[in-house]
Structure 1
Amino acid sequence: MESPDYLRTLAEIVRIHDRQPPPEYWELPMAGWEFLQTFPYLFGLDVILMDEGDKDFAAVVRSAVTDEHPYCHERAAAYATEAQRALVLFPGPDALAERLSWATRIRLQELVATVNDHMQQEHS
Structure 2
Amino acid sequence: MTEPTDIRCTAGVLAQLVDLAAAARNPGAEPLENELQRFSRLVQDSPTTAWVMPLDAVAALLDDLAEETRTDAFAARPRIFRSRLAHAAGNEPVDAFLRSLAEILRAPWFAACPDIRELPLAPWEARARFSLLDSFASLTAAGESPQEVVAMDHPDCHGRIAALAGELQRVLYMFPGAGALDAAFARVMPAVTHARLRLLLDAVHAHFAEHH
State whether TM-score is above 0.5.
Answer: yes
Matches of 1:46 and 1:38 in 2, distance apart? 14
Q: Confirm whether residue 69 of structure 1 aligns to residue 158 of structure 2.
A: no
Q: Tell me which of 93, 105, 119 is aligned to 2:194.
A: 105
After TM superposition, give the deviation of residue 122 of structure 1 in Å: 0.5
Q: Confirm whether residue 42 of structure 1 aligns to residue 42 of structure 2.
A: no
1:34/1:23 CA distance change after superposition, 3 Å: closer
Amino acid of the structure 2 residue aligned with 1:93: A
Report the 3-state secondary structure (helix = DSSP H, G, I; strand = E; otherwise coil) of the residue aligned with 2:178.
Answer: coil
- RCO greater where, 1 or 2, for CA within 8 Å and sep 6 or more? 1
Which structure 2 segments of 5+ residues have no match? 1-112
Q: Residue 32 of structure 1 aligns with which residue?
A: 123
Which structure has the larger Rg? 1
Q: Confirm whether residue 81 of structure 1 aligns to residue 166 of structure 2.
A: yes
Matches of 1:47 and 1:104 in 2, distance apart? 10
After TM superposition, give the deviation of residue 86 of structure 1 in Å: 0.8
Amino acid of the structure 1 residue aligned with 2:194: R
Matches of 1:37 and 1:70 in 2, distance apart? 26
Matches of 2:160 and 2:124 in 1, distance apart? 21
Q: Residue 115 of structure 1 aligns with which residue?
A: 204
Conserved in 2, the CA contact under 8 Å of 1:25 and 1:90? no
Percent identity of equivalent pairs? 33
Q: Residue 4 of structure 2 aligns with which residue?
A: none
Which structure 1 segments of 5+ residues have no match? 1-21
RMSD value, Cα = 2.3
Report the 3-state secondary structure (helix = DSSP H, G, I; strand = E; otherwise coil) of the residue aligned with 1:112.
Answer: helix
1:2-41 matches, within 5 Å, as 24-41=115-132
Q: TM-score, normalised by structure 2?
A: 0.40
Amino acid of the structure 2 residue aligned with 1:110: L
1:47/1:102 CA distance change after superposition, 3 Å: closer
